[in-house]
């Protein structure tokens, strides 16, 4: 049986925190769909194609390109996960406020899609402070984000 996990997020940009959770998710899934949320009312730092490239380059560096698909979604996560053939939702937890929110989401998702289980991975201590929102703010103000993101993000920002 092929275990497919669905890892949704904005990934704008992909951070070392995302990478941490992705690495952990390989332990429970044969294939991972990294699902980039695309919302017309949000102005991303990187467009969809750029985020795809960053993720694909990263998983290639990890040697996991055969186990990862990257796609967009703009609907309910459980509907997108089901369409992708996933039975697992991957979520990262940094702190107690993440846990409270993610438990509520898992409960609602579980009621809507009993066939999809949510699996939580705790961020490693060195990555708990990292959020894509804060990384974007630091980058937009000219700060150094190199300790929070893969090198490919820095390269793409320089362009």
Q: How does DSSP assign 4-65, residue by residue? A: EEEEEE--TT--HHHHHHHHHHTTT-SEEEEEEE--TT---SS-HHHHHHHHHHHHHHTT-G
Q: Tell how far CA 108 is from the center of its chain.
A: 20
Predicted pLDDT at 42: 77
pLDDT at residue 49 greater than cutoff 90: yes
Residue 75 pLDDT class (50, 70, 90 cuts) = very high
Distance CA 130, CA 148 (A): 6
pLDDT in tens, 6-43: 999 999 999 999 999 999 999 999 999 999 999 877 78
In 3D, which of 8, 53, 5 has the Cα closest to residue 31? 5
pLDDT in tens, 57-68: 999 999 999 999
pLDDT in tens, 100-155: 999 999 999 999 999 999 999 999 999 999 999 999 999 999 999 999 999 999 99
Q: 92: part of which helix (H) or strand (E)?
A: strand 88-93
Across residues 72-79, what is the average pLDDT? 96
pLDDT at residue 1 greater than cutoff 80: no
Distance CA 93, CA 102 (A): 8
pLDDT at residue 157 greater than cutoff 90: no
Is-contact 123 20, C-beta < 8 A? yes
* CATH superfamily ID and name for 4-158: HUPs (3.40.50.620)
pLDDT at residue 159 greater than cutoff 80: no
Across residues 73-87, what is the average pLDDT? 97
- C-alpha separations of 60 from 55, 79, 114 in Å: 9, 28, 33
Which sequence spans correspond to the domains of the chain?
A: 4-158
Predicted pLDDT at 61: 94
Residue 86 pLDDT class (50, 70, 90 cuts) = very high
Phi-psi label, residue 11: left if phi above 0, alpha if psi -120 to 50, beta otherwise: left
In 3D, which of 48, 35, 42, 38 has the Cα closest to residue 82? 35
């Amino acid at each position: 049986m092929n275990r497919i996990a669905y890892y949704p997020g904005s990934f704008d940009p992909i951070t070392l925190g995302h990478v941490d959770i992705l690495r952990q998710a390989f332990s429970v899934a044969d294939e991972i769909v990294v699902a980039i949320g695309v919302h017309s009312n949000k102005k991303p730092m990187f467009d969809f194609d750029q985020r795809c490239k960053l993720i694909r380059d990263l998983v290639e560096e990890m040697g996991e390109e055969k186990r990862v698909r990257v796609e967009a979604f703009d609907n309910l996560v459980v509907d997108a996960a089901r369409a992708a053939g996933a039975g697992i939702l991957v979520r990262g937890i940094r702190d107690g406020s993440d846990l409270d929110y993610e438990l509520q989401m898992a409960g609602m998702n579980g009621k809507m899609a009993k066939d999809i289980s949510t699996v939580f991975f705790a961020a490693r201590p060195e990555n708990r402070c990292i959020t894509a929102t804060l990384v974007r703010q630091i980058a937009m103000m000219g700060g150094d984000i190199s300790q929070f993101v893969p090198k490919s993000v820095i390269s793409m920002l320089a362009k």
